Amino acid sequence: MNNNYIKLDDRFSIGTDPHNIILKDKKQTTNKGYSYHKNVHQVISKIFTQLENDAIVVGELDPNKYFDHSIDLCSSIGLLTHDISLLIEKKLKQLKKDLE
């Protein structure tokens, strides 16, 4: 496995191995934050699942915070799904080119 990862934001980075797209999540402790995916759609799904879980955690103490945050989150997810997919595809192409 290579050690080259491209930062998506302050939390998530992506890399590749011969068989997978590897997502590194700085907030996850399981498997040192690494998760392995066959395609970009799985990576995006994992990112959104983590963001949704974060929204639920915010809401556990105060339901109003959860609902306010989840509405913003769902709206943001809807708007950004396509853009994130394009960004990840671009970053993966860049990473593969750098590895050649």
pLDDT tens digits for range 43-87: 888 888 887 777 666 555 555 555 554 554 555 555 556 677 777
Please check whether residue 57 lies inside any domain of the structure: yes
The range of the structural domain enclosing residue 80 comes to 6-99
CA-CA distances (angstroms) from residue 81 to 15, 24, 44, 46, 84? 19, 19, 8, 12, 5
Please check whether residue 73 lies inside any domain of the structure: yes
Domain tally for the chain? Answer: 1
Please check whether residue 1 lies inside any domain of the structure: no
- pLDDT computed for residue 41 by the predictor: 83
Please check whether residue 51 lies inside any domain of the structure: yes
Please check whether residue 86 lies inside any domain of the structure: yes
Using 50, 70 and 90 to split pLDDT, how confident is the model at 2?
very low
Please check whether residue 16 lies inside any domain of the structure: yes
Name which of 80, 71, 86, 99 is nearest 15 in CA terms: 99
Alpha helices in the chain, H assignment, sequence order: 40-59, 63-99
Amino acid at 45: S
Write down the pTM of the prediction: 0.60
Please check whether residue 92 lies inside any domain of the structure: yes
